[in-house]
Structure 1
Amino acid sequence: MPLGAASLLIKSVIWMLGALTSFCLMAVGARELSGQIGTFQLLFFRSVIGLVVMFLVIASMGNMKLFRSSRIGLHGVRNIFHFAGQYGWFVGIGLLPLAEVFALEFTGPLWTALIACLFLNEKFTAKKLISIMLGVLGVIVIVQPGIEIINYASFIVLGAAICFSIAYVSTKSLSSTESPLTILFLMCLLQLPVGLYFSLLNWQNPVGIQWLWITIIGITALSAHYCMTKAMQCAEVTTVVTMDFFRLPVIAVVGVAFYSESFNITLIFGSLLMLLGNLSNMYVSKNKNASKHFIKRA
């Protein structure tokens, strides 16, 4: 491997370690606050922190046009599904083992491929069909229908993954005319009042260390995707997605060590099937679509 390529790969690994740490901290923060602070309230605080950060970033650039958009309708659609996806993900964190939530989340790119074919007129190729079939098989391996009553929480997380996929397809359309910073700013701006409205129905004042976890969730929600974007600028997307898979064993260890969760090897096997399906459907390399991935689950 040439020295330059090796250097870029090392940088990609370092950025992915940042993304992995951020995703895991966000999940741990959600688990720590589960049952203490309502999910809608967490989403509200997440939007507040994100809005402040994005406002400061855009303001520091001096480009006020980034605060506006001529496609506010599509932004609205994107954020309805994104908000629903976030809600399902946070609820799932409180109900399922952390590893299972992350494993089911890996179905997102497969749903995205299917939705893009249906609504963006993308070609439904044989590779995409194989990709989706491998993803469905991976879900069956993880959820194991017929062995026992399927936990409804698994369907909540799958529903969240589908909502994230619809949001990502909307993002793919928006990214042709909008800056990623605009999409992220409007995401926080539009979701903030929704989170506030539902939070007021059952508001609980955070105390003590709860504020720390809320801050961690708000910051890592942005840092995770920033790190992933930087990783994609240094390595091919397929390499980054493969490294992203290591979130699963890491969060499994966290679940076993800190929350006494059991770990089933079928999670790894099912997730490998989904990873294989995701990789078989990828043609994009390097930084072509890096900005899109940055806002995929932000």
Structure 2
Amino acid sequence: MALRLGTRRSTLATTQSGLVADRLRALGHQVELVEITTEGDVNTGPLASIGGTGVFASAIRAALLAGEIDLAVHSLKDLPVAPHAGLVVAAIPPREDPRDALVARDGHTLGELPAGSVIGTGSPRRAAQLEALGLGLEITAIRGNVDTRIRHVHDGRCDAVVLARAGLARLGRTDEVTETLDPLVMLPAAGQGALAVECREDDPVRELLAQLDDADTRACVTAERELLSVLEAGCTAPLGALAEVVEDLDGVELSLRAFVGAPDGSGSLRRSLTGPVDDPRSLGARLARLLLEDGAADLVSPPVSPPRPTIQEPPA
């Protein structure tokens, strides 16, 4: 009997789910993709106003708990950090490149865009880091799939957009990237580039899915997500985090960097720590406490400000 794998309907989501399905087929299992429409797919408003963290996952999780599917594949950065009763992330496969990427007109890099250039992003994290650079760029809010966002550049409504490189790589579209942004310039979202394979906690399929798990990737994203948890920040917060397994003179360790910034660029913090690979939660919590001591709470939850101008799709 085929395993029923739940996925969002977008091209990127089905591509990512297809990668997991192929891994399972290579292990000798039949897999059927079951497409599910989520709130984040049908509601085109800003993520923060329609529920933020979890709007892409709730319908899929409901289908999983109802027994309509056997497993689900999510972009890990879209999952709330709190555990979901009855469900478990049974596998986190090897991570794709977690960095952000610029797609700009005329092949420009970020530093080549003139002051006043319009940069499209629906992410407060990206907007805050762009503002903090002080390049005089105009940030405008956008939503939509990869095609929609890149079309804003081709149609001249934006001079550039910022996207996750991982999604472009999985879609075979890295040739459109004009610059891959160094984490020193822009830290990615916690869990960016990683997939989460979820199933019911008591389902025997959990043991099968564990074969897809990558220990280093799990350690990295666990540290990043623990940072979010302690800061009580979701995927719509102006916060970036990146953990990496690195080697130094004392052996292998986990390095964690974080950015917290005001959406308007008026203030920001960058901090980093290292710790043992086998205790990622402790590392994430320690860095979060350091950020809180230095004033991160005021940046993560700033006073409400007027929304950024949003590019509207033209009538069909």
Q: Which has the higher strand share?
A: 2
Higher helix share: 1
User: Do both proteins adopt the same fold according to a TM-score greater than 0.5, normalized to the shorter chain?
Assistant: no
TM-score w.r.t. length of structure 1: 0.24
